Amino acid sequence: MREQPALLLYCQHSLGMGHLVRSLVLARALAERFRVVFLNGGPVPRGVVRPRGVTFVDLPPLGFDAEGRLVSRDGRRAVARAEDVRRAMILQTFRELRPEVVVVELFPFGRKKFAGELLPLLDAAHALGSARPLVVSSLRDILVTGRKNQADHDARACGLANRYLDAVVVHADPRFVRLEESFQPPEPLRVPVRYTGFVLGERRAGPAAAERVVVSAGGGLVGGPLFRAALEAQQLLWRAERLPMTLVAGPFLPAAEWRALMQARRRPGLVLRRSVASLEDELRRAAASVSQCGYNTALELVRARVPAVVVPFRERGEDEQWTRARRLEQLGIVRMLEPERLSGATLAEEIRKVRERPPAAVALDLDGATGTTQLLLAMLAERGRRTETTLVRRQQVGGHGHLA
């Protein structure tokens, strides 16, 4: 029996959990056909399940704080020391594994602050010449477009992609959004762009909906304003309608903000949860959802078809949630509340409105994990055919030369 091809998957979640969740779903699917080694660059919250059959290499964790600064999540090492250790670990893992496929999440279209460890990896792969692995970038549906130096960023990303990548793999349905809508470099992207469908975990059976509002903000690091407004809205909704609310803070909500929320824990009709095993299970039991419209939550809303209000995070140029929310609102799936208008009163009113009209049903490809696996296998097979053709031609040329 032929050994499964080795695949190295790099994931760095920095602000929330979206990248980690999506990459874990991908790793689980890929492990059915590949020998997957997962380079994990951030902290893994308690309760997050690591898929079986995947080997994890946990790098000294780094991430961004609420102000967007790179910080160490490892109490033993400062940022600079962690970067040195990570770079060495990544290269050692690459050399020992000798993968046939390297999947790098987001870079070079993001993760500029991690170029010091990713460019050496890509150089090491590139240096192998004809024996090098396939190298692809794994992207979510929408990229950030609000940087002050966006044109320079896109030009740099395009140059690196054209130099190092064999393909750009976009985990989206092109009927919903296409890469060129959020990536517009001055020079053409010569690397093929392939769409896999959206990446979402397997659907789980659950009980029927209950009358309650579920409020969430992904990992929670920048969810403070939303949660404070939700507490105000909860009082209004409970007083007028006896509508209960469950607030899921997220594992990365700063401890001080969690303590502030806990002061309201004895309120009637309010349940506070630090984290949950499955947000989709919570949504399936909800009368309405309030969230920030990150990639994973948005897809869970689409599949669960729960009435939803989204308040996208839109600070420091981070506009991908805003773009996603606007597109979903146009399709009739959610109601968007602009963050500038967020208050307890406006949020309560939006929750009332969204409960009056069920969300539209849309046909989007949500099987991106399978699509990614099939795509990478097809790329390997095509490379094998090209290599075999090249060898045959060389043998023919050599044979003719000998006869001459």
**Does residue 277 or residue 391 have the better pLDDT?**
277
How far does CA 84 lie from the centroid of its chain?
25
Q: Which of 164-173, 197-206, 254-263 has the lowest mean pLDDT?
A: 197-206
Q: Report yes or no on 345 lying in a domain.
A: yes
The pair of structure tokens assigned to 241 is: 């309608």
Same domain, 277 and 144: no
Same domain, 351 and 380: no
Residues 6 or more apart whose CB falls under 8 angstroms from that of 188 comprise 158
Q: Which domain holds residue 173?
A: 6-199+367-395
Same domain, 102 and 41: yes
> Residue range 83-103: average pLDDT?
98
Same domain, 371 and 351: no
Same domain, 350 and 384: no
Q: Please, are residues 306 and 286 in contact by the beta-carbon 8 Å criterion?
A: yes
Query: How many residues comprise the chain?
Result: 404
Tell me how far apart the 2 most distant CA atoms of the chain are, in Å: 96
Of these ranges, 11-25, 115-129, 204-218, 303-317, the one predicted with the greatest mean pLDDT is: 115-129
What pLDDT score was predicted for residue 281?
Answer: 87
The pair of structure tokens assigned to 12 is: 């760095």
Percent of the chain residues past pLDDT 90, beyond the cut:
79
Q: Report yes or no on 45 lying in a domain.
A: yes
Q: Report yes or no on 400 lying in a domain.
A: no
pLDDT band at 404 (very low <50, low <70, confident <90, very high): very low
* Long-range Cβ contacts of 121-129 (<8 Å, 24+ apart): 121/10, 121/90, 121/91, 121/94, 122/160, 122/164, 124/91, 124/94, 124/95, 125/94, 125/164, 126/163, 126/164
Residues 6 or more apart whose CB falls under 8 angstroms from that of 118 comprise 10, 90, 104, 107, 108, 111
Same domain, 17 and 120: yes
Structural domain total, the chain = 2
Same domain, 79 and 176: yes
Instruction: Compute how many other C-beta atoms are within 10 angstroms of the C-beta atom of residue 386.
Output: 10
Place of tokens 């009358």: 211
Same domain, 169 and 287: no
Same domain, 183 and 251: no
Whether 206 has a pLDDT exceeding 60, the answer reads no
CATH of the domain at 133: 3.40.50.2000
Q: Is the dihedral of CA 374, 380, 384, 386 positive or negative?
A: positive
Q: Give the DSSP letter of residue 367.
A: B
**Does residue 71 or residue 66 have the better pLDDT?**
71
Q: Please, are residues 173 and 195 in contact by the beta-carbon 8 Å criterion?
A: yes
Q: Report yes or no on 184 lying in a domain.
A: yes
pLDDT band at 207 (very low <50, low <70, confident <90, very high): low
**Does residue 84 or residue 393 have the better pLDDT?**
84
HEC profile for 138-170? EECCCCCCCCCCHHHHHHHHHHHHHHHCCEEEE
Q: Report yes or no on 30 lying in a domain.
A: yes
Per-residue model confidence as pLDDT tens digits over 380-396: 999 988 766 655 666 66
| CA–CA dist 237, 244 (Å, integer) | 8
What pLDDT score was predicted for residue 48?
Answer: 87
Same domain, 83 and 144: yes
- For 89, counting Cβ atoms within 10 Å of its Cβ (0-12 exposed, 13-18 middle, 19+ buried), the class is middle
Q: Report yes or no on 206 lying in a domain.
A: no
Whether 34 has a pLDDT exceeding 60, the answer reads yes
Same domain, 232 and 91: no
Same domain, 194 and 217: no
Q: Which of 222-226, 344-348, 383-387 has the lowest mean pLDDT?
A: 383-387
Whether 398 has a pLDDT exceeding 90, the answer reads no
Residues 6 or more apart whose CB falls under 8 angstroms from that of 216 comprise 223, 247, 248, 250, 279, 282, 289, 290, 291, 297
What pLDDT score was predicted for residue 338?
Answer: 96
Whether 72 has a pLDDT exceeding 60, the answer reads yes
Ranges of beta strands (E only) in 223-355 are: 245-248, 270-273, 288-291, 308-310, 335-336
Residues 6 or more apart whose CB falls under 8 angstroms from that of 48 comprise 17, 20, 21, 24
Ranges of beta strands (E only) in 196-305 are: 213-216, 245-248, 270-273, 288-291
Q: Report yes or no on 42 lying in a domain.
A: yes
Amino acid at 26: L
Whether the model pTM is above 0.85 = yes
| CA–CA dist 186, 286 (Å, integer) | 46
What pLDDT score was predicted for residue 390?
Answer: 59
Q: Report yes or no on 294 lying in a domain.
A: yes
Whether 156 has a pLDDT exceeding 80, the answer reads yes
The pair of structure tokens assigned to 2 is: 């032929």
